[in-house]
Structure 1
């Protein structure tokens, strides 16, 4: 069983035998135990499609519409989801690296044991995204993104770019935000209830408090 640790979080990873995977390019084919490399699914509609025990490498899924279905036990590398719409998809035990979710709309997504590493989520919209177990974002770009009504407790964000990330009605209790700059977050303090910070982030938190409470700070 492959695992990795991010902060205090232990994440189960996919455990694939590359030699046992078949090469597939058509999304209507069986997507279990497959290698999907440099496939173009741009603009397609994926209805209740399940990808299981597979590798997606350099695939183009941009501008697609994926409703229901799941990703289970997959490695996803350098794949482009920009401008796509994912709704009601379950993502479990997946490692996603170097992939682009620029402007992607993710709605009613359930995450369980998912690692996003070196991914771009700039201008992405996450609505009612839920973490059922360990989820981590490492070295990800989340600038100008919006998280709305997301329940992501105990998630870890490490060395991410969070400028102008907007949080609205989110539950992040236990989430580890150490190692990130929080100064330019667009959020009320209620969205940060119960998060873990380090001492170096306290000035950022003070800045957010001044904004949220509409305080006037003057010199004597």
Structure 2
């Protein structure tokens, strides 16, 4: 069982290459009695993906592309999502454990009341998304992701770390952010700075936060008036 570590945050990755584990090819993520286990789901173009009361266990999802995705009460355990494009994703009241999202497009996604535990987002596009009441119960890493104009609303992100991410106009609105690790990112265009109490940054990022605060307060510089 491998790990991905960024500074003090370490995510446990799915163990899908164990000799005793055989992944069967499936043509649908809707299994009998709502369970799909030890599976491989590959390269599908769907107009819509609708899953409810479903449990995905030990599997790989590769190259899945949808025009609309609606996931409700979907539990994910030990699953890798690679190269997926889940347009207009709406994911609610679910739990994601020991999962990887790699090279995925989740642009404009809406996640509500989703719990994350040991989850890695790597090289993913989350631009223009809204993550509401996201609860990070275990370590979560966002690495080399784009989250432009993404909003984290009333989220509990204390066990999360961002690294080398595009956080232009990313907004944090309320929630519990104590311990959130924002080192290794440009913070100069963040929004919602009042919510960032007790997050972790480097001393070198203080000027970036000052720049973000000046923009958020829409201050006027006296030198400009004098000119």
TM-score when normalising by structure 1: 0.92
The 10-residue stretch of structure 1 (156-165 or 205-214) with the greater mean CA deviation from structure 2? 205-214
Task: Considering fraction of residues, name the structure with more strand.
Answer: 2
SS in 1 for 2:37: coil
**RMSD (Å), alpha carbons:** 1.8
Q: Does 1:3 align with 2:8?
A: no
Match of 2:86 in 1: 81
The counterpart of 1:53, out of the listed 53, 58, 62, is 58
Selected match of 1:190 from 165, 170, 194: 194
Asked if 1:110 corresponds to 2:112, the answer is no
**Partners in 2 of 1:95 and 1:122 — Cα distance?**
18
Deviation at 1:42, TM superposition (A): 3.4
Give the CA deviation at 1:156: 0.6
Q: Which runs of 5+ in 1 are unaligned?
A: none
Aligned match of 2:156: 151
Q: Which runs of 5+ in 2 are unaligned?
A: none
TM-score, structure 2 as length reference? 0.90
| Alignment: residue pair count | 219
SS in 1 for 2:65: coil
Q: In the alignment, is residue 200 of structure 1 matched against residue 200 of structure 2?
A: no
1:22 is aligned, of 21, 24, 42, to: 24
Return the offset for 1:215. 5.1
TM-superposed deviation, 1:2: 1.9
Whole-angstrom distance in 1 between the partners of 2:93 and 2:46: 19
Q: Distance in 1 between matches of 2:141 and 2:152?
A: 15
